[in-house]
Amino acid sequence: MTSPALDPTRYARHLSLPGIGLEGQERLRASSVLIVGLGGLGCPASLYLAAAGIGRLGLADFDTIDTSNLQRQVLYTERDVGKRKIDRAAKALHVRNRELTLDRIPEGLTPDNAVDLIRGYDLVLDGTDNFATRYLINDAAALAGVPVVSASLFQFECQVAVFAPSAGGPCYRCLFPDMPAPGEVPNCAEAGVFGALCGVAGSMQAMEAIKWITGAGEPLLGFLLTVDALSHRHHRVRVGRDPGCALCGADPTITEIRAERYRFVCDPFPGEKPEIPPREARALADALFVDVREPWEWDLVRLPDAVHLPLGEVARRKNELPRDRPLVVYCHAGIRSLRAVEGLRAAGFSRAVSLQGGIDRWAVELDQNLPRY
């Protein structure tokens, strides 16, 4: 006689999962996953986990939905713009699994709540887009003894891995010991990403979570999987645990969560900045607008009468710019332009300023006919 707990009629829509079966489905139903970040990764990952029959999901996100999110954050529609991600995500996920228990964490993951929050789940899925939170998740999960399914994205490339020192594998710091210094990496709003690749990476995260919970196959523990979407080349690189790791090594120095370690670094220029808001920039007499974005961005949308000088070429071609006119330098969201202005001012262009918020803010405030991306 079939056990009531494993009644096949209850799991009929899941029985096609290869290598899992009723016992694996029961493990899914009894398991919990904390998803930190309901963006391009967290959206597809949560959809597939809900559809697979996971019993409980924690949704940690403080953000609201913006129009520019919609090309990659597939839980939301145009009607959701301006609303909280956790609320709209919860509604979409309940439609797919009415038995799913959902925990809403509207403050997101913070140094104050990280360890205790993570300790309440079987697995953490990192769907974040900034290094500060990524290192916070890694450190808190290692201290709590909970595995992390990690993914990162950059334009047409993604990386996926499972970090679990408690299971003998490495942590994120074994690969990347220290957080990048401000300005060393593109801003999380600046780098851009191929929307469909978010679906690929998020689905891989869901798959790794299901494998880990059910014991199916070989998880990416001790491996880093890289995917180049343009060539569809996949590489699986073995990653060893670092005995000298500050978190999980033989003599760790990180033994607690301290807020100063996780300062948000998407803005690499704290303090007063040489920038100008869009309305003031438009009114600036005789100003030359300088676009420092990549060619594909320039082809997508640009400001009238601007000149194109990609960031990587500014130092070499700066003498092509006039020194007797105000220069309004812009990019997508106002971070690359600040780096360009810093270099220009050091070279004597004292009237160079960055367009605050970039062309994206210009489109919102001054010209809503401009495409946003």
Catalytic residues: 188, 331
Q: Where are the alpha helices (DSSP H) in the chain?
A: 21-29, 42-52, 85-96, 114-119, 131-144, 172-175, 195-214, 278-283, 295-300, 314-317, 336-346, 358-365
CB contact set of 97 (below 8 Å; sequence gap of 6+) = 50, 51, 53, 54
CB 274 within 8 A of CB 210: no
CA distance 58 to 60: 6
CB 273 within 8 A of CB 339: no
Closest CA relative to residue 85, chosen from 119, 49, 41, 51: 41
CA distance 195 to 330: 23
CB 257 within 8 A of CB 111: yes
CA distance 354 to 186: 16
Position 295: which residue type? P
Report, in angstroms and rounded to the nearest whole number, the Rg of the chain calculated over CA atoms.
23
CA distance 271 to 290: 23
Tallying the residues shown for the chain, one arrives at 373
Strand bridging mode 223-228 / 233-238: antiparallel
Q: Alpha carbon of 19 to those of 25, 54, 214, 333: distances in Å? A: 10, 16, 9, 46
CB 34 within 8 A of CB 60: yes
Strand bridging mode 288-291 / 327-330: parallel
Tokens 């299901």 found at:
210
The C-alpha angle 121, 39, 56, rounded to 5 degrees, equals: 25
